[in-house]
Amino acid sequence: MVIGKQRSPQQQTDEQATRILIGKTPSGIVFREQGEDYGIDCELEQFTANPDRPGFEKSTGVLFKGQLKGTARARELEVADGTALSKQFDVDDLYYWYEQLSVPVILFLVDVDTQVVYWTEFYSDPDLRAGYRRARQGGQASLSVRFRKSSTFPETLEGLLQAVEHAYECIALSAAP
């Protein structure tokens, strides 16, 4: 029996998640979808009003990458400072993002049922860094990453941009001789 080309449920969820993230990206943030997915789904860049040209925006130079995971049923966890959602990520991908790239990577988790976008960032999350080190040392293939329910996009955009700035500082320090 010939069935033809099909899309998996996860592919459908991820496509829906991408549309939700694009739709929630505020003015002043440019969203660029990456063509080939090798562990990075998008690039985002911050723009601000250009005082020299009213009505125009200029780049702030703040640029970061994004990895997007869509879910219809994220696992909810109780953590010390509130509630979090959990999603599995490959340790090899975490290695790529945090030990090979020299640009910050924000992890986005999109709940396609509620259309809420959560985010986390490696250098600003001590639990994620510690879990990653343990996973690498233990030879684990994947790691459960926590997304605090209080870290939503775009509602906490200012916190996300501060995390990106902090990540750039950490990356620069790790590259220093």
Please state, for a pLDDT cut of 90, what percent of the chain lies above it.
71
Binned at pLDDT 50, 70 and 90, residue 56 comes out as very high
Mean pLDDT of the residues in the chain = 90
Q: Is pLDDT above 80 for 36?
A: no
Q: Give me the count of residues in the chain.
A: 177
Cβ neighbours of residue 53 closer than 8 Å, sequence gap 6 or more: none
Please state, for a pLDDT cut of 70, what percent of the chain lies above it.
95
Tokens standing for residue 48: 């601000």
Output the pLDDT for position 174: 80
Binned at pLDDT 50, 70 and 90, residue 168 comes out as very high
Q: Is pLDDT above 90 for 151?
A: yes
CATH 3.40.1350 for domain 9-175: yes
> Does residue 5 or residue 58 have the better pLDDT?
58
- The residue ranges of every structural domain in the chain are 9-175
Using alpha carbons, select from 143, 115, 150, 113 the residue that is nearest to residue 129: 143
Q: Is pLDDT above 80 for 11?
A: yes
Binned at pLDDT 50, 70 and 90, residue 39 comes out as confident
Question: Alpha carbon of 144 to those of 6, 25, 44, 150, 176: distances in Å?
Answer: 29, 26, 24, 18, 30
> b/e for 130-140, b at 16 or more Cβ within 10 A?
ebbeebeeeee
- Contact assessment for residue 70 and residue 114, using Cβ atoms and an 8 Å cutoff: no
Residue pLDDT, tens place only, 67-115: 999 998 777 766 666 788 889 999 999 999 999 999 999 999 999 999 9
Query: What strands lie across the sheet with 57-71, from one edge to the other?
Result: 29-33, 42-49, 57-71, 105-111, 116-121, 152-153
Side-chain-facing half-sphere of 150: CA atoms under 13 Å: 7
Q: CA 2 to CA 155: how far, in whole Å?
A: 47
> Does residue 139 or residue 82 have the better pLDDT?
139
